Chains A and B, each alone.
Chain A
Amino acid sequence: MMLTIIDLTLLFFLVVIAIAVVRIKDLFAATMLLGIYSLLSASIFVTLDAVDVAFTEASVGAGISTILALSTLSLTARIEKGHPGPTWIPILVCAVTGLTLIYATFDMPWFGDPDAPIHQHVAPHYLEASAEEIDIPNVVTSVLASYRGFDTFGETVVVFTALVAVLLLLGGRKGEDNESNQNKDEGGAS
């Protein structure tokens, strides 16, 4: 009961932010609101017991995406211009796509269903054979580091790329000087 109230409140905040991001013209404010949106999504993932997804959402959504959006904003204008042309075509495309996705969820198993394919396919094998095959007592660790090794490798590459991007953005004055020189050169050419 309590968790239902918490979920509903968080989802309500999420809808409010989504509408505000669409309506607002100041792109810096929209970026900040998207950061809050991502933190809220992370909270919802935590209430759904998907802690790892929540952490990815918080670091990528609130961390890296915000920085990327801000560095884009520093190269372009801060105020959004009006939309040319009719707006009903994008609305129609969004509505059709959304309805298709909702229709697709009817075939999915219910949340927490023990007979769902994900609990029947390889999970029992992992639970039974992990100790003999991998020799690690923690099943989560053996799935993460061995059974899904390539997947984890890809995630690590993403985290490394994010680290490099943060270091480039927060790096010393040297890169900043080069950038301003380039801006001057472009200004002279135009």
Chain B
Amino acid sequence: MFIAAILAILVVMGLALARALLGPTEYDRILAVNMFGTQTTLFICVIGYLTDRPAFTDIALVYALVNFVGTIAVLRYYEYSEPNQDPIED
């Protein structure tokens, strides 16, 4: 069962990666990174149970927190730096 779960997680990781590579807009890429962080959290949980080390679940929780803070920081960057972009790009 855990093997099926981890294969599914790897497939979804691939899909999120494809979105990050192809993504036409910035928000696609931000969402892909956020999605990938969630997949990493799930991956660590499942691999903990697959290798009989359920204590990995605690580490996965911390990953979820780091992922959340990272996404907030990226979005803050967008909120603050969007008006300044036009003169810089010229």
Q: Do A and B come from one complex?
A: yes
Q: Which residues of A are interface residues toward B (Cβ below 8 A)?
A: 2-3, 6, 9-10, 13, 16-17, 20, 28-29, 32-33, 35-36, 39-40, 42-43, 46-47, 51, 54-55, 58-59, 62-63, 66-67, 70-71, 74-79, 166, 169-170, 176, 180, 183, 187
B79 to chain A, nearest CB (A): 10
Q: B73 and A66: CB pair below 8 A?
A: yes
Chain A interface, DSSP helix/strand/loop, else mixed: helix
A6 to B39, CA, bound (A): 14
Taking A32-B29, A36-B32, A59-B66 as contacts, is the C-beta distance between A66 and B74 under 8 angstroms? yes
On whether the beta carbons of B3 and A170 are closer than 8 Å, the reply is: no
How far, in Å, is A73 (CB) from chain B's closest CB?
Answer: 8
CB proximity of B54 to chain A, nearest CB, Å:
13
> What interface size band does chain B fall in?
35 or more
Tell which of B3, B17, B89 has the most Cβ of chain A within 10 Å. B17
Most buried by A among B10, B13, B36, B67: B36
Q: How far is the CA of A49 from the CA of B8 in the complex (A)?
A: 22
| Residues A43 and B44 in contact, CB atoms below 8 Å apart | yes
> Is B50 touching A74 in the complex (CB atoms < 8 A)?
no
B56:A46 contact, CB within 8 angstroms: yes
Q: Find chain A residues with CB under 8 A from B37 CB.
A: 39, 62
> Smallest Cβ distance from B6 to chain A, in angstroms?
6
Closest residue of A by beta carbon distance from B35: A36
Instruction: Say whether B44 contacts A62, CB under 8 Å.
Output: no
Identity of the chain A residue whose Cβ is nearest the Cβ of B11 in the assembled complex:
A9
A76 to B90, CA, bound (A): 11
Name the one of A63, A77, A79 contacting B66, with C-beta atoms under 8 angstroms: A63
Query: Would you list 23 pairs from A and B whose C-beta atoms are within 8 A, ordered by A residue?
Result: A6-B6, A6-B10, A10-B10, A13-B17, A29-B23, A36-B33, A39-B36, A40-B40, A42-B40, A43-B40, A43-B43, A46-B56, A54-B59, A58-B40, A62-B33, A62-B70, A66-B70, A66-B73, A74-B77, A74-B84, A77-B88, A166-B73, A170-B72
